[in-house]
């Protein structure tokens, strides 16, 4: 079976699409584009799932315009696919049945900041870097950092997390309320600005992680945090992946409030050395960062140093200057490009799983053994403080043997994580790429999920072909 066969296109509504395109072109002019290159860009997917471009890309500038577009599409049964920065990894933005792509980049205003309440309101197209630059003079920051400069609407839609999640949580924990356009064009707000509420169903959490299948997110109210008085970070090598994972587990179980703790396997360290001009020893490595007061960060670093020493790790090298820390974390964020450079011409296919912290060492070690057995080149890197790690397969897309080995590996990895009471994805999401694991992970809970989808989107126009198996979601 070829790649295209594994991710089939859905049935198209040709007449409805033609009618909607005519209406949108007349209404939005140049902001409704059918340029082939732009369509292909918006069907882009950073995996081996084939590109499935939409039929039109529209650039709305307000919630009301999104409502108008969705209402028009609902009238004619035409799919709507929200698009943020295009950094998702499981085919989330592919237009499996064609239709209209909503590019939210024009909705990039910071609407309000309430420093005294530690929150802000933004449009969905604002990116995390843009928001933190806007907040620079307030002494506050938004901590969720998936690496890419993703849009905040997209981050909420995929329930993103990242390097800071071990201390600050994920998007689920940092969104107070949402404004969303539902499948019939109605505009709803899922909550107020109060820090907690017992009033009604939690629609905010329902829409976070729904990947555009239940509503189009247009505005978000987000929690903010004070910039720490002191930030300390550094690197610590270990004799084995198991030892690095055990150090992570011990640090978490001892209650050390680590802000970031990232694992790099020897191959990933080699890639970062070459790409980011580092000189780290090519062995399993932890990148760490602590936030707090000068005294608390010093204490935290000493405690972790003792743990590392007990497990044969070290020396624990600290980056005391801000520019040195920035260089280290930029290298971590550039890990994807560093890895791809290991094998020029190869396609990088990224996947992730998340397991209970007590099973982390076992899961990572078995995964590394799988890669060796199958002869696959694939660095491992992870936000191991919460049991989440990533594998980037570097594949020759013309090699049927490599693609078959990759399929075997991906299935083993997802099934291993689920078997360890974990999940097939800690932060990448389901999209098209991981639909086949949903039944194994959720079992009978897929039934209520399908009922929710049917109730909120009876025509199945919101990002169809994502999250739920086609026979359930259709």
- Tens-digit pLDDT profile for residues 350-402: 999 999 988 999 999 999 999 999 999 999 998 888 999 999 999 999 999 99
Q: Determine the pLDDT at residue 438.
A: 96
Architecture of domain 107-226: 2-Layer Sandwich (3.30)
* CA count, 13 A, side-chain hemisphere, 299: 9
Q: Determine the pLDDT at residue 469.
A: 83
Architecture of domain 3-105: 2-Layer Sandwich (3.30)
Query: In terms of CATH, what superfamily is 231-431?
Result: FAD-linked oxidases, C-terminal domain (3.40.462.10)
Q: Determine the pLDDT at residue 315.
A: 87
- Tens-digit pLDDT profile for residues 59-112: 999 999 999 999 999 999 999 999 999 988 899 999 999 999 999 999 999 999
Q: Using pLDDT thresholds of 50, 70 and 90, give the confidence band for residue 2.
A: low
Quote the distance between the C-alpha of residue 114 and its chain's center. Answer: 27
- Tens-digit pLDDT profile for residues 312-364: 998 888 876 778 888 888 898 899 999 999 999 999 999 999 999 889 999 99
Kindly report the average pLDDT of the chain as a whole number.
93
Q: Using pLDDT thresholds of 50, 70 and 90, give the confidence band for residue 472.
A: very low
Give the whole-number percent of the chain exceeding pLDDT 90.
79
Q: Determine the pLDDT at residue 3.
A: 54
Q: Work out the average pLDDT over 36-63.
A: 91
Q: Determine the pLDDT at residue 320.
A: 66
Q: Is the pLDDT of residue 47 over 90?
A: no
Encoded tokens for 96: 């499996």
Q: Determine the pLDDT at residue 473.
A: 39
Q: Determine the pLDDT at residue 413.
A: 98
- Tens-digit pLDDT profile for residues 168-188: 999 999 999 999 999 999 999
DSSP secondary structure string for all residues of 388-455: EEEEEEEE-TT-HHHHHHHHHHHHHHHHHHHHTT-BS-SSS--TTTTGGGHHHHHGGGHHHHHHHHHH
Helix-then-strand count for the chain, H and E: 19, 18
Q: Work out the average pLDDT over 424-448.
A: 94
Q: Is the pLDDT of residue 307 over 50?
A: yes
Q: Using pLDDT thresholds of 50, 70 and 90, give the confidence band for residue 141.
A: very high
Sign of CA dihedral 247, 234, 389, 2: negative
Q: Is the pLDDT of residue 155 over 50?
A: yes
Q: Determine the pLDDT at residue 364.
A: 93
Domain ranges (residues) in the chain: 3-105, 107-226, 231-431
């Amino acid at each position: 079976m070829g790649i295209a066969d594994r991710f089939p296109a859905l049935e198209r509504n040709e007449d409805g699409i033609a009618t909607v395109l005519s209406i949108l072109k007349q209404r939005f002019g140049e902001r409704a584009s059918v340029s082939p290159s732009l369509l292909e860009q918006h069907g882009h997917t950073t995996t081996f799932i084939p590109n499935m471009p939409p039929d039109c890309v529209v650039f709305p500038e307000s919630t009301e315009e999104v409502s108008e577009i969705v209402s028009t599409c609902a009238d004619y049964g035409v799919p709507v696919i929200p698009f943020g920065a295009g950094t998702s990894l499981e085919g989330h933005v592919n237009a499996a049945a064609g239709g209209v792509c909503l590019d939210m980049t024009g909705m990039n205003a910071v609407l309000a900041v309430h420093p005294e309440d530690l929150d802000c309101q933004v449009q969905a197209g604002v990116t995390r870097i843009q928001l933190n630059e806007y907040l620079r003079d307030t002494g506050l920051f938004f901590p969720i950092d998936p690496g890419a400069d993703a849009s905040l609407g997209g981050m909420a839609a995929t329930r993103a997390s990242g390097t800071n999640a071990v201390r600050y949580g994920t998007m689920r924990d940092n969104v107070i309320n949402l404004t969303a356009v539902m499948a019939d064009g109605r505009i709803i707000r899922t909550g107020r600005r109060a820090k907690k509420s017992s009033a009604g169903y939690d629609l905010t959490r329902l829409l976070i992680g729904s990947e555009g299948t239940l509503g189009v997110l247009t505005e978000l109210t987000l929690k903010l945090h004070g910039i720490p008085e002191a930030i300390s970070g550094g690197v610590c090598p270990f004799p084995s992946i198991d030892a690095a994972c055990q150090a992570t587990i011990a640090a978490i179980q001892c209650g050390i409030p680590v802000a970031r703790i990232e694992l790099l396997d020897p191959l990933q360290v080699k890639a970062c050395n070459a790409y980011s001009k580092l000189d780290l020893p090519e062995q399993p490595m932890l990148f760490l960062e602590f936030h707090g007061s000068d005294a608390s960060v010093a204490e935290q670093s000493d405690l972790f140093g003792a743990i590392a020493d007990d497990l044969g790790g070290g020396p624990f090298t600290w980056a005391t200057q801000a520019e040195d820390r920035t260089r280290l974390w930029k290298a971590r964020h550039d890990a994807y490009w560093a890895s791809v450079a290991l094998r020029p011409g190869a396609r990088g296919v990224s996947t992730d799983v998340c397991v209970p912290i007590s099973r982390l060492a076992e899961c990572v070690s078995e995964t590394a053994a799988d890669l060796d057995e199958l002869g696959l080149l694939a660095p491992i890197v992870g936000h191991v403080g919460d049991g989440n790690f990533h594998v980037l397969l570097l594949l020759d897309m013309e090699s049927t043997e490599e693609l078959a080995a990759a399929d075997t590996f991906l299935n083993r990895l997802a099934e291993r994580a689920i078997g360890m009471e974990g999940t097939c994805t800690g932060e990448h999401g389901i999209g098209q790429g991981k639909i086949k694991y949903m039944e194994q992970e959720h079992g009978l809970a897929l039934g209520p999920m399908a009922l929710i989808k049917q109730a909120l989107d009876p025509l199945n126009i919101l990002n169809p072909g994502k999250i739920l198996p086609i026979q359930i979601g259709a």
